[in-house]
Amino acid sequence: MVRGYSRPRSLDEALEMLARLTPRALPIAGGTDLLVDLREGRLGECHLVDISRLEELKVLEKRSGKIRVGAGLTFSEVERSGLLRECAPVLVKASSQVGSLQIRNVGTIGGNVAHCSPAADTIPALLVHRARVVLRSSNGSREVALEALLGGPYKALLAPGELITEFVLEDASHMWGEFSKIGRRRELAIARLSLAALARKEDGRIGELYLALGAGTPVPRRMESAERALLGKRPQEGDLWEAGWLMAQEMVSVSGPRPSTHYKEKAACGLLVRTLLPLLEDGS
């Protein structure tokens, strides 16, 4: 139940409010996840701190070879960015597949990560871009690898009063990227499985490869067994099927057997093959 609402005018003011009102304080930007939780009674009494208009959370720049992406950017703003289309192509493709146009216009990448859904679209994309997360509170700031923030389903490891302010990505302007997902329908689909892929080829061989699976494990994660199986190879379709099977086995080893395992094993394998097939067609 909402007991109060505040709209700070600066990031410092927002952090002061979050500290003063903890543990009741809840930051709200797009609200596309938070409002659902409130409506369904999953949250207790809270005080909303509206951070949606803070310019400090809208940073978007390339600096010292890194791409800095503000946590307050909406999915639509990410999708429209020429800088991100060039330097973070997987994040752009993932953002373009989130929900509906209305959701993409207000939902933010920071909120998507903080909600920490196993099926979050942008988390696998950020993982293959080797994202680090800048966190700030009234006590200072820290920077951690994204993996360190993912504590479990719907459990981001944020300290009380702490806010995700930006993501720091590796420049991927020299790489090929793709994001694919399986859902029950084309639009407004929650991923049953998703896969982010970022790769670089040299003389036909895979010189770099980053794969991250969503909705198949308690939190999205890199699939390193499949990465290792393809690195250094001039891949053929059979290599992709082998890597897909390795990824499926890694998924099951992390999540344990479930009623959906029989379906998801085959689906994960096929998803990897479908996602990486363009690498075979590119002879470079």
- The per-residue b/e assignment along 3-36, b for 16 or more CB within 10 angstroms, e otherwise, is eeeeebeebeebbbbbeebbeebbbbbbbbbbee
pLDDT tens digits, 234-268: 999 999 999 999 999 999 999 998 888 888 999 99
Rounded to the nearest integer, the mean pLDDT of the chain is 95
2-48 folds as: 3.30.43
At residue 262, the pLDDT reads 83
**In sequence order, what DSSP letters do the residues of 22-65 get, joined into one string?**
TTTEEEESS-TTHHHHHHTT-S-SEEEEE-TT-GGG--EEEETT
Is the distance from CB of 121 to CB of 212 less than 8 angstroms? no
Is the distance from CB of 98 to CB of 111 less than 8 angstroms? no
User: Is it true that the peptide bond before 220 is cis, omega within 30 degrees of 0?
Assistant: no
Query: Coil, helix or strand for 124?
Result: helix
At residue 257, the pLDDT reads 87
Q: Where are the domains of the chain?
A: 2-48, 57-170, 176-281
Least confident of 35-44, 117-126, 167-176: 35-44
At residue 255, the pLDDT reads 93
190 — pLDDT class (breaks 50, 70, 90): confident
Tokens of 140: 């200072």
200 — pLDDT class (breaks 50, 70, 90): very high
pLDDT tens digits, 227-237: 999 999 999 99
At residue 184, the pLDDT reads 77
Mean pLDDT of 139-157: 98
At residue 283, the pLDDT reads 52
Q: How far is CA 53 from CA 8, 11, 43, 149, 170, in A?
A: 9, 10, 24, 24, 27
CATH for 176-281, among 3.30.390.50, 2.40.110.10, 2.60.40.420, 3.90.105.10?
A: 3.30.390.50
Mean pLDDT of 133-154: 98
Is the distance from CB of 163 to CB of 51 less than 8 angstroms? yes
At residue 216, the pLDDT reads 95
Apex 220 CA angle, 258 and 82, nearest 5:
145
Mean pLDDT of 205-223: 97
Cα separation, 131 vs 244, whole angstroms: 24
CA-based nearest residue to 65, from 169, 145, 208, 151: 169
Query: According to CATH, what is the number of the domain 57-170?
Result: 3.30.465.10
Is the distance from CB of 153 to CB of 218 less than 8 angstroms? yes
At residue 76, the pLDDT reads 98
Mean pLDDT of 22-51: 93
Cα separation, 101 vs 275, whole angstroms: 24
Q: How many Å is the maximal CA-CA distance in the chain?
A: 61
